[in-house]
Amino acid sequence: MFEVHGFAAKDATSDLVPYTFSRRDVGASDIHIEILYSGICHSDLHQARNDWGNAPAENFPMVPGHEIVGRVVAVGPNVKKFKVGDLAGVGCMVDSCRECESCKRDLEQYCQVHTSFTYNGTEQDRKTVTQGGYSTAIVVEERFAVKISEKLDLKAVAPLLCAGITTYSPLRHWKVGPGQKVGVIGLGGLGHMGVKFAKAMGAHVTMITTSPSKGDDAKKLGADAVLISTDAEAMQKAASSFDFLLNTVPVSHDINPYTSLLKLDGTMVLVGALTPLDGVIGGSLMLPRRTIAGSAIGGMAETQEMMDFCAEHNIVSDIELVDMASINETYKRLVKNDVRYRFVIDMATMPKG
């Protein structure tokens, strides 16, 4: 075991404070990553505050962070993919059973036995609590780390590990491409990646936002059009016109105004709110034959595919670099929707000792 510096929530109501804890030594198939940057996902805040009711007392102190990038500083003897000095990334998972149907299909996020989430989870022993990326180092089995191109801006790569794969995966699964009209709902961390990916995949992309002030940014990110969701008249005009909607809204909300935007056989995929949604109008799904679906992050193979896609298309996140010590202030800004479009912690600012 070795000592790592991090920031943790001591319980679901406390601010994050400096916290020193231990990581396991490098095992045969493990890599040890010195963390350089860690993205701040809205899920970090949800879990640190137990908004989803999935954070038992024994998972505290909780070190959040599942958008992790850094340099490999040690590798176990069986490691094939990485060597010391390589860049590596870790996302929302650090292990899974590897044997169930989902794992065999490279869909470890849907493991039917036990997915070990990067923090607020347990290792496969179901006892050892996992701790995330707001820390100086992590040890992970190589299957759960991805390779990162040296040509991308590393600090802006971090959010790809969650915001990136969470939007890339459904766009691929539902085969979004040229000739399709796609709407991305909510211009935050996930939404801005959704716009970039859908555009790179050749779709016509509309940013659907509650914030008129984000319209210009949406265009800069690649959106062809902007639809203000609070403008009832504009929403009415856009009714039944979208093939695919990617809904990133982070809280329970009325989804009916959005489903109305889908055309025949259109699909809206929910990736944002995990909490109950307000009453869905059945008739609005039946006429005209609309689908609501959900999607969670992406498997490790697909995460690597997304990283390679980003290197090929020169795609990274638009970020604001923040200091570790400003984390509580940064969380407040995230809640106020004051993020353009992902906060990333510079791990060099970690207070030591």
Token duo for residue 266: 């259109």
Render the burial of 302-322: b for 16+ CB within 10 Å, e for the rest.
Answer: bbbbbbebbbeeebbbbbeeb
Selected binder of ligand NAP within 160, 190, 307, 319 (CB under 6 A): 190
x/- track of binding to ligand NAP for residues 193-212 (CB under 6 A): ----------------xxx-
**Which of 65, 70, 121, 188 is the binder for ligand NAP (CB under 6 A)?**
188
Written as one letter, the residue type at 61 is P
Please count the residues of the chain: 353
If one asks whether residue 48 binds Zn ion (CB under 5 A), the answer comes out as: no
Cβ closest to ligand NAP, residue 79 vs residue 93: 93
Chain position whose Cβ is nearest to ligand NAP: 188
User: Binds 248, which of Zn ion, ligand NAP, none (CB < 5 to 8 A, cut-off by type)?
Assistant: ligand NAP
Q: Which amino acid is at 129?
A: V
Least CB distance to ligand NAP at residue 342 (A): 7
Q: Is 304 in the site for Zn ion (CB under 5 A)?
A: no
Which of Zn ion, ligand NAP, none interacts with 131 (beta carbon under 5 to 8 A by kind)? none
The per-residue DSSP string of 275-342 comes to SPPS---HHHHHTTT-EEEE--S--HHHHHHHHHHHHHHT----EEEEEGGGHHHHHHHHHTT--SSE
Closest CA to 153 of 4, 289, 342: 342
Binding mask 113-152 for Zn ion (x = CB under 5 A): x---------------------------------------
CA dist 307 and 305 (Å) reads: 5
Minimum Å gap between C-beta 76 and ligand NAP is 29
Could you give phi then psi for residue 75, rounded to 5 degrees?
-135, 150
Query: Which of 8, 36, 40, 111 contacts Zn ion by CB under 5 A?
Result: 111
Looking only at residues 219 through 258 of this chain, which bind ligand NAP when binding is defined by CB under 6 A? 248-251, 253
Can you tell me the distance from the alpha carbon of 227 to that of 114, in angstroms, rounded to the nearest whole number? Answer: 40
Residues that bind Zn ion (CB under 5 A): 41, 43, 96-97, 100, 103, 111, 113, 162
